[in-house]
Amino acid sequence: MSKYYDLNDILVEDEVVSTVFHHKANGVGYLDPGSEDDNVEKGAVVELPLWLAQDLSRRKIIQVNLPPCFGAKVRKEVQADPACVNLRSKCPYFYEMGCKLADITGDPSLGGFLLSTLRGRYRDILCKALTSTITSTPKFMTLLTQEETHLFEAGRDSMRTFQKWRLQGPQLERAPILGRKRR
C-alpha cells in the first residue's frame, strides 16, 4: 500500500504479460481480440496488463507466462556482457517488473538473475554518472531501463550539487516553474 500513489509503480503494472486462462470469464470479451462472443474461453491465451494478472493469478484463475525479456536468450546475452545489452528496448521497467513476476510465476532463478544483471551494470552506470558533463545526455542512456536512469540521474545530480557547493556558486535560484519563459 505504501506505493499506492507512486507514479512509477503504476506504470510498471501497466506492462503487458501473456497469460493462460484456467477458467472461463464472462462479459470481458474486450480483453481477447480473438473471442467471438463477449467471453474469454478456458485455455485462451490473452495479453493482460500486470495489475490484472497479479490479482487473477493469485486466485488461480490464470497462469502467467514469463515474458521473453526474462527468457533464456536474454539471459545468455546478459551473461556475455551485462553493460552492453539494451534492456530498455526489451522492458523499460526490467527490475521492478522482474521482482513482481518472480512473485507470481514462482521462478526460483529470476531473482538471482536480476541481481547479477544489476551487479554487472551498476559499476558502469556509476562511473559514467560521476564523470558525465553537465548538459549533454550520453548515448548510452538509451540502453538503460527506467530504474537505471534514475540511478544515473541521482549520481549525476549529486556530483553537480557537490561541484556547486565547492565552487560557492549562487545558492538562491528562481523557482523552476518560471524557467520556461526567458526574460
Residues engaged in binding another protein (CB under 8 A): 4-8, 10-11, 14, 21, 23-28, 30-31, 39, 49, 51-52, 55-56, 59-61, 169-178, 180, 183
Cα 66 to Cα 69: distance, rounded to the nearest angstrom: 8
Hey, which residues does 25 pair with through a beta bridge? 40
Q: Shortest gap between Cβ of 27 and another protein (angstroms)?
A: 4
> Which residue's CB is nearer to another protein, number 5 or number 136?
5
Q: Shortest gap between Cβ of 117 and another protein (angstroms)?
A: 23
> Which residue's CB is nearer to another protein, number 73 or number 173?
173
Q: Shortest gap between Cβ of 21 and another protein (angstroms)?
A: 8
Residues 6+ apart with CB under 8 A from 126: 151, 155
> Which residue's CB is nearer to another protein, number 42 or number 123?
42
Cα 155 to Cα 113: distance, rounded to the nearest angstrom: 24
Cα 98 to Cα 91: distance, rounded to the nearest angstrom: 10
Q: Shortest gap between Cβ of 12 and another protein (angstroms)?
A: 10
Q: Shortest gap between Cβ of 41 and another protein (angstroms)?
A: 9
> Which residue's CB is nearer to another protein, number 7 or number 80?
7
Main-chain dihedrals φ then ψ at residue 175, nearest 5 degrees: -60, 135
> Which residue's CB is nearer to another protein, number 31 or number 83?
31
Residues 138-174 as b or e (16 or more Cβ within 10 Å = b): eeebebbbbbbeebbeebbeeeeeeeeeeeeeeeeee
